[in-house]
Amino acid sequence: MSHILSEFLVNILVLSLVFGLAIPNSDDKTHKQKQDEHLHESSDGNHNTDYDHKAFLGEDADEFDQLSPEESKERLAKIVDKIDKNSDGLVTTDELKEWIHYTQNKYIIDDVDRQWKSHTGDDDSMTQLLWIDYKNRTFGFLEDMTVNSVSDVNTYKEMLKRDERRWKLADRNQDNSLSKSEFLDFLHPEEAQHMRDVVVDETLEDIDKDGDGRISVDEYITDMYAPDASADQVPDWVIREKQQFKDIRDKNKDGFMDRDEIREWVLPPDYDHSEAEAKHLIAESDTNKDGKLTKDEILNSYDVFVGSQATDFGEALLRHEEF
């Protein structure tokens, strides 16, 4: 029994290692971002402010320590001063949009720096990361251990296959190594035009459970919603999503999303996420309906922006000279 438990714990550790070093889906702003957007409204129909916190504060919002409302407001007030670039006492849509775009870019840059160092260490002279080195560091354990089940082996092999496909696309000069800028494309393919086919490929592979090369409405819903046997009824947002699939996602009305329809869903050409979120936050907090926010309006709606959570992240942003 102890041997079985030990193998189980080893496999859990290995999964953590792989998802920390390989390309975890949770780091991609593709169809996972779409899942988060669906959760902008909670299942009971109330507004889900967690989504706004992440948009306003970046991925670091997940690491926030619990603070009192007073402490949250104090830190938020300092951030508002940074957002108000012309110091006129008003936060406009453009200023808020720029801030949200900044937080998202900061997350990407920090993520690339962190993962680059995990592979190169503190050797600043390393300007290229070889595929063989990345592969050995990320998946080398497969040669040295017995995996618990066939499904585990297949999972790791699929992750390796995905990484290699991404790598080849990111490797623009085809020298089988990545510069740091190419590594950014590898980690965040949604940010690079030449990588967007792989975003569609991975979305399709994640959601298309029957492998027919398209996404049905049931597959689309199942990807973001697991029915609760104890629930009396399906949440309203799920019903709306099913209708959206039929009315909007499925352009040719054949009952499925094909590759072109998937691309338009996960990578809409004319959609500015930062602008949409900025407009939403202003609509939530603009009590006098003038289309702008005063510091008081933001602080009075602090729960929309940061809730009762804030960390040294806000102070770190204040120290960042680029914004």
Half-sphere exposure of 183 (CA within 13 A, CB side): 26
* Of 321, 266, 302, 282, the residue nearest 64 (C-alpha): 302
* Of 181, 192, 153, 187, the residue nearest 167 (C-alpha): 187
Q: Is the pTM of this model over 0.75?
A: no
Q: How far is CA 269 from the centre of its chain?
A: 18
**Two structure tokens written together for 126:** 């390393």
The list of the chain residues with pLDDT below 50 reads 1-32, 34-46, 60, 63-65, 308-321
pLDDT score for 260: 96
For residue range 21-77, list pLDDT tens digits in order.
344 343 444 444 544 444 444 444 445 556 666 666 655 455 444 566 777 788 889
Half-sphere exposure of 270 (CA within 13 A, CB side): 0
pLDDT score for 63: 41
Cross-strand partners of 294: 90
pLDDT score for 35: 46
N residues, the chain: 323
pLDDT score for 140: 81
Q: Return the residue matching tokens 């609509």.
A: 283
